[in-house]
Amino acid sequence: MRRLGPLRNLRKGLGQNRPALLSLVFILAIALASALASILSPYGAGGLDEEHILEGPSLSHWMGTDGLGRDVFTRVLFGARVSLTVGVGTSLLALFIGTLYGLASGYARPRVDNLLMRLVDVFYSLPDLLVFILLSLVLGRNVPGLLISLGLVTWVRFARLTRGEVLQAKESLYVEGARAVGAGNGRILLCHILPNIMGPIIVTLTFMIPGVILAESTLSFIGLGINDPYNAWGTSWGTLAQDGWRAMRTYPHVIFFPGAAIFLTILSFNFIGNAFRDIMDPRDKVR
């Protein structure tokens, strides 16, 4: 288990950090609840109900109903699927592309490295949300389209990080040692360098997920993200917040609950990220 050293440290450190542990439980609970949405809620995702329009929270509708009489609690659960899938899926996609790119760039000759990093610079010099909007115009405003367009922007963060780490690592003694016993480039990169730089990559991943959830909900809120009421995967928390925004003046509950879901989820991921970072870099930890 030597190779998974950083992962084991993470698990150990998480156990000692109460907010982070609580956050993990919260996220797992939301994920589970959204997976079981159709069992947990007696109302369907699309069930209209003209008799119960814009009702406040009650026993039969925990979070009230929206402008079409749909149960907000049910919609938040179904929205969680979309928001979490986009958040986690995009981050993993970005991790995969970015890490490979960074490994290659950092390990390549300086000339090639320079060239590869120019592309990263172009992406880096633009505001993320702007590029998401442009890409989602082409790739479509649905879950796969958004996942890809968000992934195509966020990978550069992993690429930059990995490249920097590789540049440092490739001068280290263990790499020299591995080369001395005859390991090839691929083996050195994937079996020696990669496990050793996993720590910062995992920390970046934990901060990436809430960042993507934020970006997706923001896009959906301003009407440029997911919105397809006829599809079970066509409503995210951001879409719900947008629905609630229009009714906020008189019926604030419709925006309150999806808003709280977004905020608490992002907060939880940030707490976990902070905990991970403290474990990796104990320097500025709060005692």
Least distance (Å) between residue 263 CB and another protein: 6
Instruction: Centre a 10 Å sphere on the Cβ of residue 287 and count the other Cβ atoms it contains.
Output: 3
Distance CA(80)–CA(108), nearest Å, equals 41
Cα 206 from Cα 162, distance rounded (Å): 15
For 158, other C-beta atoms within 10 Å of its C-beta total 24
| CB-nearer residue toward another protein: 146 or 214 | 214
Q: Which is nearer to another protein, 7 or 264 (CB)?
A: 264
DSSP assigned state of 57: P
Least separation in angstroms between CB 129 and another protein: 4
| Closer residue to another protein (CB): 169 or 214 | 214
- In this structure, the dihedral spanned by the alpha carbons of residues 31, 56, 225 and 263, taken in order and rounded to 10 degrees, is -50
- Interior angle at CA 175, CA 116 and CA 10, nearest 5: 85
The binding site for another protein (CB under 8 A) comprises 121-122, 125-130, 133-135, 137-138, 210, 214, 217-218, 221-224, 241, 245, 248-249, 252, 255, 259, 262-263, 266-267, 270-271, 274, 283-284, 286-287
Say what angle helices 143-169 and 110-124 make with each other, to 10 degrees. 140
For another protein, the closer CB: 2 or 249? 249
Q: Closest separation between CB of residue 158 and another protein, Å?
A: 16
Q: Which is nearer to another protein, 102 or 258 (CB)?
A: 258
Shortest gap between Cβ of 268 and another protein (angstroms)?
9
State the minimum distance, in angstroms, from the CB of residue 143 to another protein.
18
Closest CA to 193 of 99, 119, 75, 116: 99
